[in-house]
């Protein structure tokens, strides 16, 4: 691993622990094992390191956005199967150690970084909600759930629960028991999904 890669990795480590403002260029250089002036041979500024991390994360995450669309093809196989298919690609990607660290970094920086905040709002919250709305509408058409239920409310009731689990883990409990968290996450959101589904399903189905 060359020094540029080392700088990148060490920065992810430190930024995700202490936030961007909580880490100095000296500190990064120290962890890499070079002097701080040498950093500037690889990145033009501290902010440039941060931007490369954010770009990396967005690129990795966006490539998974289509996963949910594909999941809709599996709707006939039952809600459980469909739910797992929808989450699998996302969770597999999120579970990578590097992605977990940057996820925490995103939560930390979102309050004062416009790019981060807009990515979270648009790609992490709004886009999935829209995806779930499409799917709940499909379920309506197939007579799996009641005709008169509010699909947006339903999508939010379903999705925000998982979002809070993520916030709680990455912001308040990190990095306690990462593996346990992901196992619990799947179990908990599945139970939650059933609770939500129960409230609107048409009797006799499933």
Partner DNA sequence: GTCTATACCCAGATAGAC
Partner DNA sequence: GTCTATCTGGGTATAGAC
Q: Residue 14 burial (CB < 10 Å; 0-12/13-18/19+)?
A: buried
- What is the separation, in whole angstroms, between the first and last Cα of the chain? 52
Q: Which residues pair with 145 in a beta bridge?
A: 201
d(CA 71, CA 163): 19
Residue matched to tokens 């202490």: 18
Tell me if 103 contacts a copy of itself by CB under 8 A.
Answer: no
Between 38 and 199, CB nearer to a copy of itself: 199
- Convert residues 123-162 into a mask of x (bound to a copy of itself by CB under 8 A) and - (unbound): --x------------------------x--xx-xx--xx-
| Among DNA, a copy of itself, none, residue 145 binds (CB under 5-8 Å by kind) | none
Between 81 and 160, CB nearer to a copy of itself: 160
> Looking at 13, 17, 19, 27, which residue binds DNA (CB under 7 A)?
27
Tell me if 38 contacts DNA by CB under 7 A.
Answer: yes
> Looking at 76, 97, 168, 183, which residue binds a copy of itself (CB under 8 A)?
168
Contacts to DNA by CB under 7 A: 3-4, 23-27, 29, 34-38, 40-42, 44-47
């Amino acid at each position: 691993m060359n020094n540029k890669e080392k700088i990148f990795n060490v920065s992810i480590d430190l930024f995700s622990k202490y936030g961007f403002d909580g880490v100095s260029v000296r500190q990064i250089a120290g962890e890499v094992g070079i002097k701080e002036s040498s950093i500037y041979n690889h990145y033009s500024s501290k902010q440039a390191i941060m931007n490369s991390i954010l770009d990396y994360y967005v690129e990795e995450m966006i490539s998974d956005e289509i996963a949910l669309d594909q999941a809709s093809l599996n709707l006939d196989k039952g809600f459980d199967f469909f739910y797992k298919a929808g989450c699998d690609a996302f969770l597999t990607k999120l579970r990578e150690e590097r992605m977990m660290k940057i996820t925490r970094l995103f939560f930390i920086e979102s309050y004062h970084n416009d790019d981060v905040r807009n990515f979270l709002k648009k790609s992490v919250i709004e886009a999935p909600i829209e995806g779930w709305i499409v799917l709940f509408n499909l379920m309506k058409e197939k007579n799996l759930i009641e005709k008169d239920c509010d699909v947006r409310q339903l999508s939010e009731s379903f999705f925000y629960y998982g979002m809070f689990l993520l916030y709680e883990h990455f912001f308040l409990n990190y990095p306690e028991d990462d593996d346990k968290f992901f196992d619990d996450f799947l179990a908990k959101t599945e139970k939650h999904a059933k609770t939500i589904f129960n409230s609107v399903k048409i009797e006799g189905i499933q």
